[in-house]
Amino acid sequence: MIIKVDNLTKQFDGLKAVDGVSFGVAPGSIFAFLGPNGAGKSTTIKMLVTLLKPTSGQLEINGFDVLAAPAQARRSFGVVFQDYSLDDELTAYENMYFHALIYALPKAERRAKIAKLLELVNLTERQKSLVKDFSGGMKRRLEIARGLLHEPKVLFLDEPTLGLDPQTRNHIWAYIKNLNQQRQLTVFFTTHYMDEAQRYADQIAIIDRGQIVARGTPQDLQRQTDSDSLEQAFLKLTGYDLRDENISAAERLRLLNQRKWKK
């Protein structure tokens, strides 16, 4: 297993955001981490990528103990966060270059590697444009290119395609799938788009209220829950109540109607 999570817990004041989570991810596989809003997905990723200290538990990436050897672990993965993390006042190239400096890429390799990755995500022609003038899809593609710059073995993607049109989502998944197949890149992603998990994940873990409630291939989860689709399996496993208190009343009503109808 290239990622090992053992009995991981994160306590925020009164809330156990992650509550005794254990799983492994096989090298070269695509792993989907699914769950309702607030389930603990991003918190788990933040602990794996050394941004947040676990309350308890063990984490290993590429053979390195994440807590004891964070620097080595960090060299093994790239990450695209759920929240936007580019520098708007820099060009696409400069955003990449800055990242190359942080990761201490040898000077001789920087330009060629940046050029190759910008090509991969179809941003070569826009490399000198300021990122603030990019569309949402272009920004996300740039974040993915940046996450790959130091040639990580593992790529974490926290909702990589949120808010993107179907064309851009397909493009992004084509790059990811290609990297997975050509370079045996291990991909760990979260999404609320069940079709993406169904289509691309080798293995899925479903987390709800900080605990893993199911694991398996998309087919396994459907079978376990006697469902016709992954979305139905997901709803059966995690329930129909709403989890996010921050959404607007109109959105809540829309979701409620949609879910009532699905039930």
Ligand X SMILES: Nc1ncnc2c1ncn2[C@@H]1O[C@H](COP(=O)(O)OP(=O)(O)OP(=O)(O)O)[C@@H](O)[C@H]1O
Q: How far is the CB of 91 from ligand X (least distance, A)?
A: 29
Determine which residue in the list 21, 29, 42, 188 makes contact with ligand X, applying CB under 6 A.
42
Give 190: exposed, middle or buried? Use CB within 10 Å, 0-12, 13-18, 19+.
buried
- When asked if residue 194 is in the footprint of ligand X (CB under 6 A), the reply is no
Nearer to ligand X, 13 or 125 (CB): 13
- When asked if residue 41 is in the footprint of ligand X (CB under 6 A), the reply is yes
Determine which residue in the list 82, 129, 225, 232 makes contact with ligand X, applying CB under 6 A.
82
Size of the site for ligand X (CB under 6 A): 12
Please report the sign of the dihedral spanned by the C-alpha atoms of residue 234, residue 161, residue 251, residue 249. Answer: positive
Nearer to ligand X, 35 or 147 (CB): 35
> What is the spatial distance between Cα 185 and Cα 176, in angstroms, rounded to a whole number?
9
Choose one: 36-44, 67-75, 178-186, 253-261; the region binding ligand X (CB under 6 A). Answer: 36-44
Question: Which string of DSSP letters, residue by residue, matches 106-175?
Answer: -HHHHHHHHHHHHHHTT-GGGTTSBGGGS-HHHHHHHHHHHHTTT--SEEEEESTTTT--HHHHHHHHHH
Which residues ranging from 48 to 87 are in contact with Mg ion (CB under 5 A)?
A: 82
- When asked if residue 35 is in the footprint of ligand X (CB under 6 A), the reply is yes
Q: How far is the CB of 245 from ligand X (least distance, A)?
A: 9
Determine which residue in the list 3, 19, 31, 43 makes contact with ligand X, applying CB under 6 A.
43
Which residues ranging from 24 to 43 are in contact with Mg ion (CB under 5 A)?
A: 41-42
Choose one: 9-17, 24-32, 145-153, 233-241; the region binding ligand X (CB under 6 A). Answer: 9-17
CA distance to 43, 193, 225, per residue, from 165 (Å): 26, 12, 30
Give 18: exposed, middle or buried? Use CB within 10 Å, 0-12, 13-18, 19+.
buried
Which amino acid would we find at residue 218?
P
What three-state secondary structure class fits 181?
Answer: helix
Nearer to ligand X, 42 or 203 (CB): 42
Strands 56-61, 64-65: pairing kind: antiparallel
- When asked if residue 40 is in the footprint of ligand X (CB under 6 A), the reply is yes
Give yes or no for a contact between 19 and 11, defined as CB atoms under 8 angstroms apart.
no
Q: How far is the CB of 214 from ligand X (least distance, A)?
A: 15
Choose one: 31-39, 55-63, 119-127, 227-235; the region binding ligand X (CB under 6 A). Answer: 31-39
Please report the sign of the dihedral spanned by the C-alpha atoms of residue 186, residue 190, residue 196, residue 199. Answer: positive
Residue 43 binds which of ligand X, Mg ion, none (CB < 5-8 A, kind-dependent): ligand X
Residues contributing to the site for ligand X (CB under 6 A): 12, 15, 17, 35, 37-43, 82
Residues contributing to the site for Mg ion (CB under 5 A): 41-42, 82
